Every structure is written in structure tokens, then in C-alpha cells.
Structure 1
Amino acid sequence: MTLAMSWEEWASHDACALAEKVRTGELSAAELAQQAAAGIAQTNPALDAVLEVFDDVVTDPLRDGLNPQGPLAGVPFLMKDLGPTLKGRLQEQGSLFMRGNRPTQDTWLTSQMRRAGLNLMGRTTTPEFGVCSSAENPAVCVTRNPWNTEYTTCGSSAGTAAMVAAGAVPLSHATDGGGSIRIPAGFNGNIGLKASRGVFSIAPHLSDISGYVSTQGCQSRTVRDTAAFVDACRGGAPGEFMPYWSPSEPYSTLIQKDPGRLRIALSHEWGDYRATPHMVAELERAGRFLEGLGHHVEWALPQTDLRAAFAAQTTCYISNFAQVINGMLASRGLERPPADLIEPINIRIWEAGKDMSYTERHKMQGVFNHTARAFGAFFEDWDIILTPITALPTPRVGTTEYLTTSDNPDVLDWFGNLWKFFAYTPLSNLCGIPAISLPMARQENGLPFGIQAQAKQANDGLLLQLAAQIERALGGKWNDGRRPAVHVTH
């Protein structure tokens, strides 16, 4: 098969550039889909990141309702195997228990993506129910980092991170309930925005109350692609529990202007958690870079009980995931999770959370409220908090302590161990504030490392403006212009 572009050309085009080629008639959506499918076929054997390519929409991109007039018309796009459903397509959520699950309807956000013109042409790996740090159960998948396949991508948006980094697609779906967009973006050299609460709908399967720490989004390699995705896919479904908002101007326009001089706080000491010395040095280097762009930078942190916040976040996850599992069991008439089909930590989460009282949830909500108010007060004096994306480096494949296949008998201890690693991402979910991981740093072993910027609620546009300013200052060369070892151009 003759491809429409050389791989060097393909890798140099972001989603917006590909959409422009379709808009002008230079290339067709089918040609782009065929090239993406070839890129997946080339890189996936080493990465185990894509579960399925939908051959019918590769051949005929319009067959599932892609809008050919959409702003991203014809752009190949992969769906994480979790969250928004696609009518008639499998969604197995990284779980043996969900094998063969085939939803009968598109969700609201799926419809928004189709209206935007995205060609939803396959599904990417995720850990079971999106709970843990890596898509790594040999019975389902073992997703590997394209920079060095001895290492994990982390998760839970694992396959998406690998495929965007490897150059197979420019843009891919991701979800984030505690860092699952940002952490794999940070470890794979991508851009990952966790939007504010009230941007992306999770209708109809969850309400904004039951699912309010979790958000949808994407990973990309350029700031304008992320801005275009948010502009095109945001908005609430009929009957949302809370207001959905839109900015005064599209982010695609806003990012063309530099932000004013920003007050940027650096921090890596979050409650009981500290980053490694190398990561602190990389954070300081990023701070100096931002000072060079004219911003005011110094060390500062919101004044609140972070230990209580992490405990409340643990309560939230245990109670939420337990009820998700309960719903799955009820649909099959089961009273408890089958040990051969659901991973050990997820069974322990179910046991710990299935009978959790409203009293415990109410106490949790009180801590959420106190923490969110403290961060809100902090953002009266500061525009941005800058942190490392994690406190510890990327684990090697086979490190089980962070996985839901772990044999840790104590679910609270398992979560506590997780927070030592993923210290800096969960609280933005708790507070509903936006956060973005930018591929500005490097680990000691040469793998990429993300620097995270967080802002006050609904200041997503400011994060994207800052990201675009950094991108311009770097001459568009994130990751120092390096490419992963597994890449379509190799």
C-alpha cells in the first residue's frame, strides 16, 4: 500500500495541520486513517498499546457519523478503552471481567468528538477500570514506554500516551481521575491537560456529583492541538447537575497571545511527600526558564492539611470504584467479584467501599471543601503552581507494588504507597482546578519528565497560554527535539 506521506512528513504534522490538508482537499480522511493504521501496525508490536483498530472506519471514515465539516475533520483519533462509549464497539475497561462488553449507544462526549470531525478509529489500553498506575496485566496487555520498552508508560491513559509519543496519531483520548492524563503524558513526552470541572461531560453514565473528580480529555504533541480539542468537544449534555461554562474567546485564538507577567509558585513538598533531588533540580530549571520569559517565580504552597486531603481522596476512590464494581456485579446477578476475573486490589477496594456510610462520605466532602477553599485563596495571590509531575521516576515493567495485580493485603497501605509516587496530581481533581503536564524535563535515565502547572478553576486558558508561550520559546521542540526509540520514523 502506498501511503499519502513519508513518515517524516507525518511526524511533522499535528492534528490541526492534518485537518487543514483534509479541508483543502489535498488529502482525504481515508488516506489519513490508512497512514495512522500503518503507524499503529508498525509500532504496536513493541508497545502493546492498541487493542483494536476499527478497519471499517479506516476504509470509510464517514460510516459512524464523522462530521466532514468539523474543525478537526478527518483527524485519526484513538479512544481509551474506558469512559465514553461508542455504539456497537467493544469497551472492556482493561478487565477480563468486561471481555465482550459492547455498548449500544454513543455517549454525549463521543457525539461531540464526531461533530468535531475526529475519526474514532480504534481503542487504546488502560489498567483495569482505570484504577492503577500502569496497563500491565499479562492476561490483558503489558503496555511499554516507547522511549525505552523496559519501562512502563504509567497510566491510566497508557496506550494513548504510547501511540501519541510514537507518532502513530497526533491526538488521542485520555481520562483523568487523579493524574491519568498528566502522568503518562509526563513519562512519554506528551502534552496532557486535565481540564477544570464543568468543561467535558461524563453524561449519561455518571452525574457530576458521583463522578466529579474524574474528567475527560486528550494527549497531544502541540499546544494548539489540545486547544482545538477543548474548543471543539467541551460542553454539557442536557440535564447536567452543574453549569458548564465556555471562555470569552476560543482557546485556539487565546494561545496566539502571550500571557502577562505571571506570579508562579514552585513547590514539591506536599504534605508528607517529597520529590527526588534530581526532580527538584528539574523543577528549579523550569522555574528559571519561566523567569527568563519575564515571570515572577518563588517557592510557595497553599496552607491546608494535605494529609487530610489525601486521606479524603482515598475515601473518594474506594467508595466510587466500589460502587462502579457493584453496578457491574449487579448487571450479571453476582454478589461478589470473581477472583479469576477481577484483579486483587480492585476486589479489596470493593470490600472496603461497598458498605461505606454517608457519614464517611460527608466527612470526605468536608475535607474536599476545606482543601478547595484553601487552594482558591492561594490563587488570589498566585496565578500558577508549578510542580514535578510525580515524586518518583518511571517504574520498570514488572514493578507490581503500584498495580492492581499487587498482593498487598492492605488497601489503605496500597493507596498510601501510590500517593508517595503520584503526590502532585490528585488534588487538582479534588479541587476541580485545571492542570497541565508539559514535556520540559528529563529523568536521570533519559526518559522524558513532565513539569505540571496548575491554576485556579476555569483558568484552563491561562495554562494553555503559558504552554504556548513556552512552546514558542523552545522553537516547538519539546523533549529537546528528541524522539522515542520506538517511533514511526525509525
Structure 2
Amino acid sequence: MISAADYAGHDALGLAGLVARGETTAAELLEAALARAAEVNPRINAINIPMHEIGRARAREALQGPFAGVPFLIKDIVQDYGGVPASSGCTPLRDWKAPSHAAITQRFLDAGLVIFGKTATPELALKGITESRAWGITRNPWNLDHTPGGSSGGAAAAVAAGIVPMAGANDGGGSIRIPAACCGLFGLRPSRGRVPLGPRMGEAWEGANSDLVVSRSVRDSAAMLDALQGPDVGSPFEIRAPERPYLDELQREPGRLRVAFCTRSPLGTPVDPQHVEAVRRAAKLLESLGHHVEEAEPQVDGPLLARCFITMYMGNVAASVAEIRALTGCAESEFEPDTRVFAQAGRALDAGEYVRRRRLWNDFARALGRFFQSHDLYLTPTLACPPVRIGELDQPAALRAAQKLVLGLRGGGLLLRSGMVEQIATESLAKVPFTQLSNLTGTPSMSVPLYQTAEGLPLGLQFVAPFGEEGRLLRLAAQLERALPWFGRVPSL
């Protein structure tokens, strides 16, 4: 039987290597993962839907692939597993079972992974924290009083706590990078269309969403991207294939990169001094590694981008609530108040205004493209502050009363006309203002766990690359991982 220390001491490719050499088995690895989950999950609430017997049956199979025999968790939204509940973090779907595997889930299985559960997400993956009425509060293994981020907070908490070496995640507004930064993990968000989302959808959140994993090592994310990339049948478009396997990129030097950095929030909101200092420390590190570094930022209207993001968000919430009600017959009151307010606002949106703001995404992409003509990468903090405390983002009583009034009056149109949407956009994104640029432009980006705060919480830094340049990010990530190793930096719990 593999020891707990040996299990925790390997990344996913390392565990697969043990299985391939006959030093352990898939069944032994699964029991180690289940033992760790039994020990820590009651405290962190990362796994919301256990699939133990499915995992045990899977571990008895003759498995093939780069991750053959490695225990794995999928996120409880988009990553459907046929016959297993797919709640998307909301009460009306707690018992609804996906009719078939999502394309990404099938590729996880084809890679040899042993899926034994699903991880918690906020309702409809709508928040940068992971708390829901359906499943409760998910906590950060580094400090249980703090959030692990969201919306892939359950995945990040499970990896940081040592239940699995990597876990499925997705990112529509920062939901891979935010929890990676909160939990001291590596989080790569691929370019739009790199990883398929079929068959239930072609693009999630109008193409703003991308799927991959959160991981403890760069090589696990690279090898997983190799296993997942490429269109499935009926994908809306086919992105250019990489020149070589992403795992091979890690053996190549990144060359002398032109890195621009910025610590200013695109919303003009405060940025924690520790995060500002971390970017400047990283800039000096990059210079010592031979890169050209300068302070610069793309000419993008940050508040306008935030309004466009929130507009897309509202429209998608309205559509999702309508689809779930039609599917389950539930009442709208069964959704959380925040969800219901955004659904009302989404229903009140003028279709022409929605399309106009969607078209503005092109302006942001063109501006970023021009910026990348003179820079290879763009460095910012991933977050504007350390992981927030549980309950810190709870609405004050006055706002809860206003929310109740809007719901009672069905005041979605009033919400739009009052200008409150702009206020909501600024307030909801103030602590995570840096990540949405990559989502709306479709570009790849990553959060790298280089530093920690004075309080011992993880502090991640974000790098954004031009469209299709995941290889560039991975080459730099491997260089940074060698310069400031983080694999052995784990919470004590």
C-alpha cells in the first residue's frame, strides 16, 4: 500500500509513473485519495458529490493513457459524468443526472484518470468564492477562515489539501486563475476553443469560458492540455493545433521575452500593497532570468470591459435559470437571491444592447493584439487582495433590503435604468479586476504561485499571452518553477 507521504510527494505524472512501473496500483492510489478525503474534506467541503464505487470499479480496469491510474475529481459544472448528478451548484439540479459524459470528461477518462467525485462550485459558477445554498461553504486549506476562491474553489481546495494532485476546473471570468492564486496552485486558462465543451454546448458564456485543471506542477497542466486539446464533433471552430506537444515545451527555454507589467486595477479600485510588491519582485526575477521587463498596459477601457462582462453574465444567468426551470419544473424562488436578481436584469436587457456590448469584445481583442505586437507577455497580480475571509463579501443589510425590493417588484428593468448595474460590476469585480480581459479576448493566461503574503496565504501572479500561445506561457512557467519551486509548499491543515 502506498504511504500517505509517498502519495502526497508525487504529482499526477509521478503517480502514473509508479503505476506504470508496478510500484503501486490504481486501486491503491484511489484508496489513498479516499483516505485523505475522509480526513480533510469534512473541514474544507471541497467534494460535494462522491463517486466512490464508480471510482473503485474504474480502478479495477486495465487503464491506458498518460495519467493511467491517477485519482481525479471533476468540477460540478460543464464536466458532466453520465448518470451522476450535475447540480451546477444549485438546489433545483441537486438530483438531476447528466444523460451522458461531456466531451472533456470522456477525454479525462481516455487519459486514464480514475474519477471518484465532483467538486463544489457556487451556484451556476457565478462567484469568485465557493459558497452555495445547495452545498454550503468551501474553505481554503491554507486557512479555514478564508475562501479558496471560485468558481473552481472545490477543485483548488481538494488539490491544495492533498486529496488529488490536480482536478478539473473551468474559467469564464477567472475561475481557474482565482482559486489557483488563493490556494497556491498553478492554473492555466487555455485559448478560446482549445478544449471542447460538447455535446451539451458549443461555447459557454459566449466563448468566455475555457476548461482545464488546477495543479501542483506545471508539467501536469501541460500533459493534461495535450490530452484535452482539439475539437470534438460539431465544435463551433477549430483552433490551430500546437507545433509540438505541450509537455515538450517545458524542455525548451523561453528565450528573451518582452514582458510588460502593470499593478494598476483596470477599474481604478484599490490593489493590496503586497500584490503590488509581488509584481515588482517578479519583474526583477524576470530580468535576472534574461527577460526584458517594462511597465506598460494595453489601451483597454477597464470599466467598459467590466460592464460588457456583467452584461454577458446577466444574459447567461437569465438563460440558465429559464432552462433549469423548464428542465426541472422548479420555482424561481429556489435559486439564490443574487442569481434571481441577475436573472431579472438579464430578462430586462434589450437584445440590441446585449449584442452591441458583445461586439465590443472585438475592440478589446484588437487593443490587446496591438499591445502584443511590442510585448510577448503581460504580467499583473491575479487578485487585487489576499483570499477574502469567509463572510467578508456578505451583503450589508441595506443592500439585502434593496435586493428584496427588486425581487418583489420584478425590477430588472429598474435595475438597468438606475445605473446600478455599473455599480454592481465595479463592486463585484473590485477584488478580481485583472482576470476578465483574458476571458473576453479569448487569450490564454496563467496564475503562477510565486509568493505568499505576510500572513502565510498564497499570492499568485497572472501572465497573459497572445491567442494560441499556451506554449509560450508553459515555457516561462517551467522556468519560474525551477527558479522558485513551489511543489513542496503545502498547507499544514
Mark yes or no: TM-score above 0.5: yes
2:111 & 2:240 partners in 1: Cα distance? 18
Matched, 1:317 2:313: yes
User: 1:460 Cα deviation (Å)?
Assistant: 0.7
Note closer, same or farther for the CA distance 1:11–1:210 as it changes in structure 2 (3 Å cut). Answer: closer
Matched, 1:477 2:486: yes
- Aligned with 1:325: secondary structure? helix
Matched, 1:108 2:103: yes
Matched, 1:160 2:155: yes
User: 1:191 Cα deviation (Å)?
Assistant: 0.5
Q: Deviations over 1:341-369 (max 9, x none)?
A: 21111001110002433311221122101
User: 1:450 Cα deviation (Å)?
Assistant: 0.5
Matched, 1:462 2:464: no
Q: Deviations over 1:38-94 (max 9, x none)?
A: 11111111111111332213322257xx77121111111101111121011111111
Matched, 1:262 2:257: yes
User: 1:139 Cα deviation (Å)?
Assistant: 5.2
User: 1:333 Cα deviation (Å)?
Assistant: 4.3
1:18-417 pair list within 5 angstroms: 18-61=15-58, 68-137=63-132, 140-208=135-203, 211-269=206-264, 270-333=266-329, 337-338=332-333, 341-401=334-394, 407=400, 409=403, 412=421, 413-417=423-427
Matched, 1:17 2:14: yes
Note closer, same or farther for the CA distance 1:477–1:306 as it changes in structure 2 (3 Å cut). Answer: closer
1:448 & 1:402 partners in 2: Cα distance? 26
Structure 2 residue ranges without an equivalent (≥5): 404-414
Q: Tell me the amino acid that sits aligned with residue 206 of structure 1.
A: M
User: 1:326 Cα deviation (Å)?
Assistant: 1.1
Q: Tell me the amino acid that sits aligned with residue 104 of structure 1.
A: P
Percent identical residues: 37
Note closer, same or farther for the CA distance 1:112–1:402 as it changes in structure 2 (3 Å cut). Answer: farther
Larger deviation, residues 204-213 vs 454-463: 204-213
- Aligned with 1:244: secondary structure? coil
2:22 & 2:456 partners in 1: Cα distance? 41
Structure 1 residue ranges without an equivalent (≥5): none
Note closer, same or farther for the CA distance 1:67–1:435 as it changes in structure 2 (3 Å cut). Answer: farther
Q: Deviations over 1:390-437 (max 9, x none)?
A: 11221111223479xx83636623332121111000110000000100
Matched, 1:436 2:443: no
1:399 & 1:136 partners in 2: Cα distance? 12
Q: Do the aligned residues in 2 keep the contact of 1:46 with 1:144 (CA within 8 Å)?
A: yes
Note closer, same or farther for the CA distance 1:175–1:209 as it changes in structure 2 (3 Å cut). Answer: closer
Q: Normalization by structure 1: what TM-score?
A: 0.93
Instruction: Show the counterpart of 1:7.
Output: 4
1:330 & 1:381 partners in 2: Cα distance? 50
Q: Deviations over 1:74-115 (max 9, x none)?
A: 111101111121011111111112121111211111111111
Q: Tell me the amino acid that sits aligned with residue 336 of structure 2.
A: E
- Aligned with 1:400: secondary structure? coil
- Structure 1 runs of 4+ aligned residues shifted over 6 Å read none
- Aligned with 1:218: secondary structure? strand
2:178 & 2:490 partners in 1: Cα distance? 18
1:254 & 1:171 partners in 2: Cα distance? 20
Note closer, same or farther for the CA distance 1:283–1:402 as it changes in structure 2 (3 Å cut). Answer: farther
Q: Deviations over 1:278-311 (max 9, x none)?
A: 2101110111111111111110001122221111
1:98 & 1:337 partners in 2: Cα distance? 13
Q: Tell me the amino acid that sits aligned with residue 491 of structure 2.
A: P
Q: Tell me the amino acid that sits aligned with residue 19 of structure 1.
A: A
Q: Tell me the amino acid that sits aligned with residue 98 of structure 1.
A: L
Q: Do the aligned residues in 2 keep the contact of 1:255 with 1:465 (CA within 8 Å)?
A: yes
Q: Do the aligned residues in 1 keep the contact of 2:48 with 2:135 (CA within 8 Å)?
A: no
Number of residue pairs aligned between Structure 1 and Structure 2: 473
Q: Do the aligned residues in 2 keep the contact of 1:37 with 1:53 (CA within 8 Å)?
A: no
User: 1:209 Cα deviation (Å)?
Assistant: 7.5
Q: Do the aligned residues in 1 keep the contact of 2:91 with 2:133 (CA within 8 Å)?
A: no
1:272 & 1:226 partners in 2: Cα distance? 33
